[in-house]
Amino acid sequence: MSKRIAYQGVQGAYSEQACKNAYEGYETIACDTFQEAMWMVERGDADLAMIPLENSTAGRVEEIYRLIPKMSLHVIAEHFEPIVHCLLALPGVKIEALKYVASHPQALAQCHNNILSLDLKAEAKLDTAGAAKELVELNDPSRAAIASKLAADIYGLHILKENFEDKHGNTTRFFILSAKNQVPPYEQNKRYITSLVFQVQNIPAALYKVLGGFASNGINLLKIESYMGTHMLTGSQFHIDIDGHIDSDIMRIALREVSFFAEDVRILGVYESHRNHQIEYTI
């Protein structure tokens, strides 16, 4: 029986493309929502879930940060997927015949200048691949869609223009989630990321005290996000990505300090840094 990986969206979505690039040979499962994709893994109906966390152009996927504290899954890897928008049309249609173009609002925004240059009317849809699928159903030669090359292959559409985005280099970072915690053994010559969530009391300098353990031990924080908790809490919750492995000596010391000043500390996962990881800064 082949292994399965779940994602949110319809066939041809960029999330499915990420699944195929990161886990070649896995059967991909389309889900209506992020939560459904996570449930598939929790129930054992899928081995993994590919969940988008942030985009270099559009920013974070806010819904994911609300779901992460509630889930029972573990982060076992990260994946960076380059987003290449394609202008798709029905087979045989010339670009001069187009009047309308449909896609997700983010994709339309990322292709805004090119859409204007072709004098097309933009129509917002729920997702990119859904726009491609609808284009086939409408069978209207005056209409186009902005979606992935995978969507073009699946729905038999013609790629009029590849790299249709206004600015190249757009990338989405994904978390790969599993029901089983898979912490890789610590090796000094490799780079790791530890992701965790915690809550702080609503008192002065609470976050400063929690993060002080990382600063005093020379540990770099790659990312920090704050959001309200899942219940009526007196303090805020934070998600941080740390440049390091929990089994390194300095990380053990830092995490002890975090536990002293924070509440509900939960390690989401420890995983090797993806080779394309470029989001790097010091807090």
> Buried b / exposed e across 3-36, counting CB within 10 Å, b at 16+?
ebbbbbbbbbbbbbbbbeebbeebebbbbeebbe
**Residue 172 annotated to the active site:** yes
Q: How far is CA 131 from CA 11, 93, 152, 256, in A?
A: 11, 17, 11, 49
Residue 136, classified by CB atoms within 10 Å of its CB into exposed (0-12), middle (13-18) or buried (19+), is middle
Q: DSSP 3-state assignment of 60? A: strand
What φ, ψ does residue 164 adopt, rounded to 5°? Answer: -80, -10
Q: How far apart are CA 188 and CA 170, in angstroms?
A: 31
Among residues 174, 175, 214, 238, which one is catalytic?
A: 174
Task: Report the candidate in 209, 226, 223, 219 with the shortest Cα–Cα distance to residue 260.
Answer: 209
- CA–CA gap between residue 241 and residue 221 (Å, rounded): 6
Length of the chain: 283
Distance between CA atoms of 149 and 12, rounded to whole angstroms?
A: 8
- Angle 249-261/206-216 helices, nearest 10 degrees? 170
Single-letter residue type at 280: E
End-to-end CA distance of the chain: 45
Catalytically annotated residue among 172, 194, 214, 261: 172
Which amino acids are annotated catalytic? 172, 174
